[in-house]
Chain A
Amino acid sequence: MDYNVLAELLAATVRVAAPLIFVALGAVLSESAGTFAVGVEGMMLMGAFSGAVLTFVTKSWAFGLLGSAMSGAALALIVAIATARFRTDHMVTGLSVNILALGLTSYLLRGLFGGKTPVINLPTLDAIQIPWLCNLPLIGRALFEQSLLTYAAFFLVIPMHLFLKKTQTGLMLRAVGENPAAAFSAGTDPIRVRAVAIIVCGAFAGLGGAVLSLQELGTFTDGMTNGRGFIALAAVIIGRWQPLFVMLGCLLFGAASALAFNLQGWSLPISSYVIQMTPYLLALAVLCGIGRRARMPAAIGRSFTRN
């Protein structure tokens, strides 16, 4: 593999990992507080949709990003009410909002524009070069010549780590995920903490969707997230709910996708569909490899009742 190809692969790895990191960080919040985050796929799709449509209509990136965070959070609100308040099953509730998001985005895309699919073609965000550093050999382009949201994704990892590990609120959140009854007797309301965690998770996932629609593709198509939310969930398990390791998990899947994408241009004797399976197969293989060593937040998936 020659040098330029490798540098390009590394840059693509980081680029593809960025939306996954947003989604995965959100999922870490939700799952650390005890709620499985299966709905992130739908929240991501909502974010991708709102980001693209709002930027298209208002011509403003700021509105687009705000809209994607809010729409992701709005879908998460449904999950929060259902799981925290009514104590519905987390997995199935997540699946339901995923299909809801698929329908809603596909319907509104046409419904809002008089029955026809509008041609959304947005200029994607330019890469920002960090002077000098971007000329570093091999890693220069991967680390110091990326778009704004990619930098943002990676910078968010550290505050998220500090929040969960070093702050009172983060500790409380994890306590709710480990032992809600104990947290309750210490004066925390687990239902409220979980609800807030889910909603913030939705905002993160929505931003992840915006990265996809605004920064990578500059458009929105039906169901464009195509399982990326689930891949992010696998990254969360691989990273054992620790933001820094979760980021590495996302990079792993980024590398798999980048490699898969790159391989398609090499006219190898493997069909492109087999190559497209790579990220999913990799996720399954890694999950199997981790096996039972993955220790989940103890009370994840379990509803809390006050008695």
Chain B
Amino acid sequence: MPSLAPLPSGPGPSGQVPTTSRGAAFRGLFSAAIAVLLAFAIAGILILVSGKNPFVAYWALLRGAFGSTDSVTFALNKSTPYILAGVGVAICFRARVINIGSEGQIAVGGVAASWIALNVPDLPSAVLVPLATIGGALAGAAWASIAALMRLKRGVHEVLGTLLSNFVGVLLVSEVLHGSMGEPGAGFPQSPLFPQGAWLQPLFEGSDLHAGILLAVLAVVACHLLLWHTPLGFRIRLLGSSDRAAAYAGVSVARTVLSVMLLAGALSGIAGAVEVLGVHFRLIQGFSQGFGFNAVAVALLAALNPVAVLPAGLFFGFLEAGALAMQREVGVQSSLVYVIQGLTMVFVLCALAINSKQQRV
């Protein structure tokens, strides 16, 4: 097992409430900010290379993210799946289970939710929406359990197990859309529009902001409580800090690994369900594109702290929403966002490593 070496130092083995010092939290925030700034600076050079003014571009990005109620709504909806999947990944990484299968789990979650929405359309909305969401959660958890079992039973490293199953999950979406669930003659691989009763209702009258963001906040709070105030959370943290300590304390590695994978899979499945029920109102090919990486990035940017996943996820959501505006208005390709995200991740990882070194001294 590789160790995710530079983790923030958690509480001692007594399992008490977090005792992370204020200084460490501040340092974490500070390095995250530096990492983001550095990434933006380097991406700025790329904007210059393509003959545009980076300041103009970034101003457009900022306005695109925060400029109007609509843009904020759009960004919040974009953040929702990142937060949901990201907080699950954070819990997994805490237990040193490198789950990067969110993308596949989101895909099958979306398929399951869509199947329910299309096949029992006559149920009242108050039943149908929760039912479809739960269906998504179960499908995501089941998908994640495959990789977990492959690791536990056959010793297949979960990185390869989850990575490869991502491709299968995404192809599964294409498969159902070209088969039983596709809309004939649509010209694009998509399902028919869901019945209104299956739509995730907006939070406010006349707004596009759907209820998914509430689920995301709920998931963050629940994972925080789970990690710091339950026996399972204690086992997760113990397994994350040392295999030997966990074995000595009688923690079952298999049960803990399976638990965190099921939890992360369910959360990703919910993210997939929320995406189809609240944003597209149908299943579309490639709807989970890039979500898996973002979930990992968000978890790490949050230093694997469930509560910090919320701002980290919002940062990614607003960044991507702004980038789309930047492309529209200034003509700077939105794929620049991937550059910013990738660089941010590398810098955050290095900063975490430096910090943990300083703490040790």
Given contacts A92-B4, A106-B333, contact A230 B164 (CB under 8 A): yes
Contact B167 A292 (CB under 8 A): no
Expressed in whole angstroms, the Cα–Cα distance for A280 and B164 within the complex equals: 6
A-facing residues in B141-159 (Cβ within 8 Å): 150, 154-156, 159
Expressed in whole angstroms, the Cα–Cα distance for A82 and B291 within the complex equals: 24
* Pick from B50, B154, B341: contact of A115, CB under 8 Å: B50
List A residues at the B interface (Cβ < 8 Å): 36, 38, 78, 82, 86-93, 95-104, 106-108, 110-112, 114-115, 222, 227, 230, 233-234, 237, 271, 273-274, 276-277, 280-281, 283-284, 287-289, 291-292, 294, 300-303
* Dominant SS among interface residues on chain B: helix
* Dominant SS among interface residues on chain A: helix
Given contacts A230-B163, A291-B154, A303-B5, contact A277 B338 (CB under 8 A): no
* Pick from B46, B154, B346: contact of A287, CB under 8 Å: B154
Expressed in whole angstroms, the Cα–Cα distance for A97 and B350 within the complex equals: 13
Contact B171 A276 (CB under 8 A): yes
Which chain A positions have C-beta within 8 A of B98?
89, 91-92
> Does B175 sit within 8 A of A, measured CB to CB?
yes
A-B contact pairs, 11 of them (CB 8 A): A89-B5, A91-B100, A95-B296, A96-B346, A227-B164, A271-B175, A273-B175, A276-B171, A277-B167, A280-B171, A301-B2
Contact B353 A111 (CB under 8 A): no
* Pick from A108, A110, A222, A288: contact of B150, CB under 8 Å: A288
> Does B337 sit within 8 A of A, measured CB to CB?
yes
> Does B354 sit within 8 A of A, measured CB to CB?
yes
Which chain A positions have C-beta within 8 A of B174?
273
Contact A103 B341 (CB under 8 A): yes
List B residues at the A interface (Cβ < 8 Å): 1-6, 46, 49-51, 98, 100, 150, 154-156, 159-161, 163-165, 167-168, 171-172, 174-175, 178-179, 290, 293, 296-297, 300, 331, 333, 335-343, 345-346, 349-350, 352-354
Q: How far is the CB of A100 from chain B (nearest CB, A)?
A: 3
Contact A294 B4 (CB under 8 A): no
> Which partner residue on chain A sits nearest B350 by CB separation?
A86
Q: How far is the CB of B264 from chain A (nearest CB, A)?
A: 15
Contact A280 B354 (CB under 8 A): no
Which chain A positions have C-beta within 8 A of B178?
271, 273
Expressed in whole angstroms, the Cα–Cα distance for A225 and B354 within the complex equals: 33
Q: What are the 7 tightest A-B residue pairs by CB atom distance, in nearest-first order? A: A103-B338, A100-B342, A301-B2, A111-B50, A96-B345, A292-B155, A106-B335
Contact B150 A284 (CB under 8 A): yes
Contact B342 A88 (CB under 8 A): no
Expressed in whole angstroms, the Cα–Cα distance for A88 and B339 within the complex equals: 19
> Which partner residue on chain B sits nearest A85 by CB separation?
B350
Which chain A positions have C-beta within 8 A of B172?
273, 277
Contact A111 B156 (CB under 8 A): no
Q: How far is the CB of A228 from chain B (nearest CB, A)?
A: 11
Expressed in whole angstroms, the Cα–Cα distance for A115 and B332 within the complex equals: 8
> Which partner residue on chain A sits nearest B155 by CB separation?
A292
Contact A288 B171 (CB under 8 A): no
Expressed in whole angstroms, the Cα–Cα distance for A284 and B101 within the complex equals: 14
Expressed in whole angstroms, the Cα–Cα distance for A237 and B164 within the complex equals: 14
Contact B156 A273 (CB under 8 A): no
Contact A92 B338 (CB under 8 A): no
Given contacts A87-B353, A92-B4, contact A287 B49 (CB under 8 A): no
Contact B297 A96 (CB under 8 A): yes
* Pick from B2, B4, B150, B350: contact of A82, CB under 8 Å: B350
Which chain A positions have C-beta within 8 A of B353?
86-88
* Pick from A38, A90, A93: contact of B346, CB under 8 Å: A93
Expressed in whole angstroms, the Cα–Cα distance for A227 and B345 within the complex equals: 20
Which chain A positions have C-beta within 8 A of B46?
104, 107-108, 111
Q: How far is the CB of A104 from chain B (nearest CB, A)?
A: 5
Which chain A positions have C-beta within 8 A of B333?
106-107, 110-111, 115
Which chain A positions have C-beta within 8 A of B5?
87-89, 303
Expressed in whole angstroms, the Cα–Cα distance for A300 and B157 within the complex equals: 13
Contact B160 A95 (CB under 8 A): no
* Pick from A38, A277, A283: contact of B159, CB under 8 Å: A38
Which chain B positions have C-beta within 8 A of A234?
160, 164
Given contacts A86-B354, A114-B51, A273-B178, contact A99 B345 (CB under 8 A): yes
Contact A92 B342 (CB under 8 A): no
Given contacts A100-B341, A103-B342, A104-B342, 10 further A-B pairs with CB under 8 A are A87-B6, A88-B6, A88-B352, A89-B349, A99-B341, A114-B51, A233-B160, A274-B171, A280-B171, A301-B3
